[in-house]
Amino acid sequence: MSVRIRPSNAIVRYALTGGDAHVATRSVFDGLGWRVAGARVEGSPHTLYQLLNHMIFWQDGVLEWLKGRSPRMTEHAADSWPGPSTPSSRAEWASAVRRYQAGLRQLERAARRAVSARKGKGKSPLEMLAAVGAHNSYHAGQAALLRRLLGKWPPPSGGLTW
């Protein structure tokens, strides 16, 4: 017998914002210079800038889905890593961070009112939010590790250092 556990709104909000075992996703990119955001860490396939744009890509897709639209789906995972490895300027980096944080705020609001009821055979809104929350949490952890390896952890707002 298979038991299916549905996510709760609180668990989804923790994954989206930070809390419990999750790094604070909203501030993980704060206080980071644009040149450092594009720096390569040996052994890492992605820069911090690439992680940020990848997270934005999937956040935007879920937000479109929540609005009843059909988001662009990728044929290959590599297609969900858009753009260059480094920002071209401080302004481009700041704009990407703002876009990420704005999308995150929209997802947080959606999580407060999301229901687990499904429409048809697909996922429920809460399940989609749980998926993007887990995705963001995973990559925020990668961002925290890359920042640590670059000597740029924690962000100005703080973060676990143990």
One digit per residue, the tens of pLDDT, for the chain of length 162 reads 555 556 677 778 878 887 666 678 888 999 999 999 999 999 999 999 999 999 999 999 999 999 988 887 788 888 889 889 999 999 999 999 999 999 999 998 888 887 666 666 678 888 889 899 999 989 999 999 999 999 999 888 877 665
What pLDDT, on a 0 to 100 scale, did the predictor assign at position 6? 60
- The DSSP bridge partners found for residue 22 are 19
Question: What is the longest distance spanned by two Cα atoms in the chain?
Answer: 55
So what CATH class is 9-149? mainly alpha
Q: In terms of DSSP H, where are the helices of the chain? A: 9-17, 34-37, 48-66, 90-113, 125-149
Q: Please check whether residue 104 is in contact with residue 98, taking contact to mean a CB–CB distance below 8 angstroms.
A: no
What pLDDT, on a 0 to 100 scale, did the predictor assign at position 120? 60
The residues spanned by each domain of the chain are: 9-149
**How deeply is 143 buried, as exposed, middle or buried, from its count of CB atoms within 10 A (0-12, 13-18, 19+)?**
buried
What does 46-92 look like in DSSP terms, one character per residue?
Answer: S-HHHHHHHHHHHHHHHHHHHTT--PPPPSSGGGGS-S-SS-SSHHH
Query: Is the bond into 154 cis (omega within 30 degrees of 0)?
Result: yes
